[in-house]
Amino acid sequence: MEFRLGELFCGPGGIAMGAQSLAVTNGAEEFSIKHAWATDYHPDTCETYRRNICPDDPRSVVCHDILTLDYDRLSEISAIDGLAFGFPCNDFSIVGEQKGINGTFGPLYSYGVKALKRFQPMWFVAENVGGLRNSNEGGALKTILRELEGAGYNLFPHLYKFEEYGIPQARHRFIIVGIRKDIDVTFKIPAPTYEMRTAKQALCDPPIPPGASNHEYTAQSKSVVERLKHIKPGQNAFTATMPDELRLKVKAVRISQIYKRLDPQKPSYTITGSGGGGTHVYHWSENRALTNRERARIQTFPDDFEFYGSKESVRRQIGMAVPPMGARVIFKALLNSFAGISYPSVAVAKPHVATLPRLMKAPINQLSLATV
From first CA to last CA, the distance across the chain in angstroms is 34
* Farthest CA pair distance, the chain: 69
The one catalytic residue among 46, 63, 89, 204: 89
Dihedral, CA of residue 162, residue 270, residue 19 and residue 129, to nearest 10: 90
In the chain, the amino acid numbered 235 is: Q
What whole-number distance in Å separates Cα of residue 267 and Cα of residue 261?
Answer: 12
| 12 contacts 45 by C-beta, under 8 angstroms | yes
What whole-number distance in Å separates Cα of residue 163 and Cα of residue 172?
Answer: 8
What is the three-class DSSP state of 229?
helix
If you ran DSSP here, which 8-state letter would residue 124 be given? E
Nearest in space to 329 (alpha carbons), one of 22, 7, 37: 22
Active site residue 46: no
What whole-number distance in Å separates Cα of residue 29 and Cα of residue 26?
Answer: 6
- The dihedral of CA 286, 164, 336, 127: what is its sign? negative
If you ran DSSP here, which 8-state letter would residue 226 be given? H
Catalytically annotated residues: 89
